[in-house]
C-alpha cells in the first residue's frame, strides 16, 4: 500500500503527466455535464417512457454507450456510436476499394484524408439516426414535446452534439492521456455501474430467503469474470527468434534468442464494438418504418436475451476478430524485419516459410481467442436469464466489461511509460502492464 501511495505521488511530480491527467479529467467532466443538457423543446420531467425503454435490451446498451445521454434526451443523445459505425465502413472499404488502400499507404497525409472522409460519413449517419431518435422519442414520450418544437433544429443539434463529442475525444488523444474515444465510452459505462449495483442490491434485499447470499455470489462471479477478461486481454503466445552472430569491426551483434509475443486477442475490444454498432442498425431502421414485418425483424434483434440476437452477435465478433487481427498483424512484414536483422525462427526457413508459420500460429491462437471473446460478450444474456437485474447483468461481460478492462489497461500502460521514462518505479513491480497494443487507437 505504501509503494502504491509513493507511485501515486510520483505521477503528480511529473509536470507533463500531471497536466495531461488533469486535462483529460477536465474534458471528461465537460462530456458528463453535456449528457444532462436536454434538447430544446423537450420537457425532462416527461421522459419516464424513454427511461423505461432504456432499462434493458439493445436500447439499454445504447444508453450505456452514451453515458445516459440517450435516456435524458440530451444534446449528446446519439453518443459516439455513429462515428464508430463510420469507422467500420471506412476500414472495410480499405480492404475492398483500391482508393482507400492507397490512402492507407500514404502515411500521415493519407491518415488525415481517411479521418476527413470518416467525419463526412459520420455526419451522413447522424442525419439518418437523428430523425429515428426523434421518432422513437415521440412514440415513448409524446407528452414531452413542447408546442414550439422544431424537428429540423433538433436534428442539427443532435448532429452537432456527436461531432462535439468526437472533437473532445480527439483533444484527449492529442493533449491528454489514453485514447479519447475509448475513454469517453468507458466513462459512460462507469457512470452507470453504481446505480446498477444499488438496484441489484435492493432487488435481492426485497427477496425472501437467501437474497443477500445470492448478491454476494453474484459479486464473486463478477470478480472471476473480471479476472478472466484481464487474462484474455493480456494473453500471449511467445515465438522464439534466434539472431545470427555478426561481427562488425571490433563489435559483436546478435547471437542471442528473443521472443515475439503474439497476442491471443490481438484485436482487443474492437470486434465487440464493431459488432455492437452493426446490431444497432435494425433499431435505426425500425424508427422509420411502421411495417409489421420489419418491426418483427427489428424486435427479434432488440431482445438481448433472445437466441438470434446473441447468435448473430457472437458470429460477428468471431468474424471481426479475424478481420481486425488481419489488418493489425502483418506476418509478411514481421518476416521481412527478422530477415533484415539476421533473425530466424528455429526450425523454420526464412522468407515464405516464416510468413506461413506466423500466419498459421496467428490463425490457431485467434480462433480460441475469438470464441472466448464471443462467450464473454454474450454472458450478460445468461446472467439476465438467471434473474440478475438487466442493468447489472451488462457488467458480467459483454461490451461494457471488455471496454472497461481494455481502456483501463491501456491508460495505465501510458502512465507507466511516463514513469519509467523518468526513472520512477512503474505501477507494477512484477512486470510491465500489458495493454491492447493500441487496438483502441484505430477508433
The fold for domain 2-442 equals Preprotein translocase SecY subunit (1.10.3370)
The answer to whether 409 and 435 have CB atoms below 8 angstroms apart is yes
How high is the pLDDT of residue 122? 92
Q: How far apart are CA 244 and CA 114, in angstroms?
A: 41
What are the sequence ranges of the domains in the chain? 2-442
**HSE (side-chain half, CA atoms, 13 Å) at 128:** 18
User: Nine-digit cell at 202?
Assistant: 435492493
Per residue of the chain (443 residues), what is the pLDDT tens digit? 566 676 667 777 777 888 888 999 999 999 999 888 888 888 888 887 777 766 665 666 677 777 778 888 889 988 888 888 888 888 778 777 888 888 877 777 888 898 899 999 999 999 988 998 888 888 888 888 888 788 899 999 999 999 999 999 889 988 888 888 888 888 888 887 888 888 888 888 877 666 788 888 888 888 888 787 777 767 777 777 766 655 555 555 555 667 777 777 777 777 877 787 777 766 656 544 544 445 566 666 666 777 888 888 889 888 888 888 887 777 888 888 877 777 778 888 888 888 888 888 888 888 888 888 888 888 888 888 888 877 788 777 666 777 777 777 778 777 777 777 766 555 555 445 555 544 444 44
Q: What is the dihedral of CA 425, 431, 433, 439, to 10 degrees?
A: 130
Does residue 426 sit in helix, strand or coil? Answer: coil
- Residue 322 has a pLDDT of 86
Q: Evaluate whether 203 touches 50 at the Cβ level (below 8 Å).
A: no
pLDDT digits (tens, 9 = 90+) for 312-357: 888 988 888 888 888 777 788 888 887 777 777 888 888 888 888 8
Polymer length in residues for the chain: 443
The confidence score (pLDDT) of residue 440 equals: 41
CB 302 within 8 A of CB 405: no
Q: What single-letter DSSP state applies at residue 261?
A: E
Show Cβ contacts of residue 281 under 8 Å, excluding neighbours closer than 6 positions.
none
258's torsion region: left (phi>0), alpha (psi -120 to 50) or beta? Answer: beta
Within 13 Å, how many C-alpha atoms sit on residue 193's CB side?
A: 14
pLDDT of amino acid 298: 61
Q: What is residue 285's predicted lDDT score, i.e. its pLDDT? A: 61
- The three-state secondary structure class of 244 is coil
pLDDT at 404: 78
Angle between helices 307-328 and 81-96 (to 10 degrees): 60
d(CA 43, CA 50): 12
Query: 277-294 burial, b if ≥16 CB within 10 A, otherwise e?
Result: bbbbebbbbbbeeeeeee
Q: How many CB atoms lie within 10 A of CB 116?
A: 10
φ, ψ at 2 (rounded to 5°): -65, -40
**pLDDT for 256:** 64
Q: What is the pLDDT of residue 441?
A: 41
Helix (H) or strand (E) holding 219: helix 211-234
Question: Contact, 88 vs 277, CB < 8 A?
Answer: yes
The answer to whether the Cα torsion of 126, 127, 133, 134 is positive or negative is positive
Cα distances from 57 to residues 299, 380, 381, 390, in angstroms, run: 10, 11, 10, 8
pTM score = 0.73
At 339, which helix (H) or strand (E)?
Answer: helix 331-340
Amino acid at each position: 500500500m505504501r509503494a502504491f501511495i509513493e507511485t501515486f505521488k510520483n505521477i503528480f511530480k511529473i509536470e507533463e503527466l500531471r497536466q495531461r491527467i488533469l486535462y483529460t479529467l477536465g474534458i471528461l467532466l465537460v462530456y458528463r455535464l453535456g449528457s444532462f443538457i436536454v434538447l430544446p423543446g423537450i420537457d425532462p420531467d416527461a421522459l419516464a417512457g424513454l427511461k423505461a425503454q432504456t432499462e434493458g435490451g439493445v436500447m439499454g446498451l445504447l444508453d450505456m454507450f452514451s453515458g445516459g445521454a440517450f435516456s435524458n434526451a440530451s444534446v449528446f443523445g446519439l453518443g459516439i456510436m455513429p462515428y464508430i459505425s463510420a469507422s467500420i465502413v471506412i476500414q472495410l472499404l480499405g480492404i475492398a476499394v483500391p482508393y482507400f488502400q492507397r490512402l492507407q499507404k500514404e502515411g500521415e497525409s493519407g491518415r488525415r484524408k481517411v479521418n476527413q472522409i470518416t467525419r463526412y460519413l459520420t455526419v451522413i449517419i447522424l442525419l439518418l439516426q437523428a430523425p429515428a431518435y426523434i421518432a422513437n422519442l415521440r412514440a415513448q414520450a409524446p407528452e414531452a414535446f413542447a408546442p414550439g418544437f422544431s424537428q429540423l433544429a433538433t436534428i442539427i443539434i443532435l448532429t452537432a452534439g456527436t461531432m462535439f463529442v468526437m472533437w473532445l475525444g480527439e483533444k484527449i488523444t492529442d493533449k491528454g492521456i489514453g485514447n479519447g474515444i475509448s475513454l469517453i465510452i468507458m466513462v459512460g459505462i462507469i457512470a452507470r455501474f453504481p446505480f446498477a449495483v444499488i438496484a441489484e442490491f435492493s432487488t435481492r434485499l426485497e427477496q425472501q430467503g437467501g437474497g443477500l447470499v445470492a448478491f454476494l455470489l453474484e459479486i464473486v462471479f463478477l470478480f472471476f469474470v473480471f479476472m478472466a477478461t484481464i487474462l484474455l486481454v493480456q494473453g500471449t503466445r511467445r515465438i522464439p527468434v534466434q539472431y545470427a552472430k555478426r561481427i562488425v569491426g571490433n563489435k559483436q551483434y546478435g547471437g542471442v534468442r528473443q521472443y515475439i509475443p503474439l497476442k491471443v486477442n490481438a484485436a482487443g475490444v474492437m470486434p465487440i464494438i464493431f459488432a455492437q454498432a452493426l446490431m444497432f442498425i435494425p433499431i435505426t431502421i425500425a424508427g422509420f418504418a411502421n411495417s409489421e414485418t420489419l418491426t418483427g425483424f427489428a424486435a427479434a434483434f432488440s431482445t438481448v436475451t433472445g437466441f438470434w440476437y446473441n447468435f448473430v452477435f457472437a458470429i460477428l465478433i468471431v468474424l471481426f476478430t479475424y478481420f481486425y487481427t488481419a489488418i493489425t498483424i502483418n506476418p509478411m512484414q514481421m518476416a521481412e524485419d527478422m530477415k533484415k536483422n539476421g533473425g530466424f525462427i528455429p526450425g523454420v526457413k526464412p522468407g515464405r516459410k516464416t510468413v506461413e508459420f506466423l500466419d498459421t500460429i496467428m490463425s490457431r491462437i485467434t480462433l480460441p481467442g475469438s470464441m472466448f471473446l464471443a462467450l464473454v460478450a454474450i454472458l450478460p444474456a445468461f446472467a439476465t436469464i438467471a434473474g440478475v437485474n438487466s442493468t447489472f447483468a451488462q457488467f458480467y461481460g459483454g461490451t461494457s466489461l471488455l471496454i472497461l478492462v481494455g481502456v483501463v489497461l491501456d491508460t495505465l500502460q501510458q502512465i507507466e511509460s511516463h514513469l519509467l521514462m523518468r526513472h520512477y518505479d512503474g505501477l507494477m513491480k512484477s512486470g510491465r502492464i500489458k495493454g491492447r497494443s493500441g487496438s483502441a487507437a484505430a477508433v
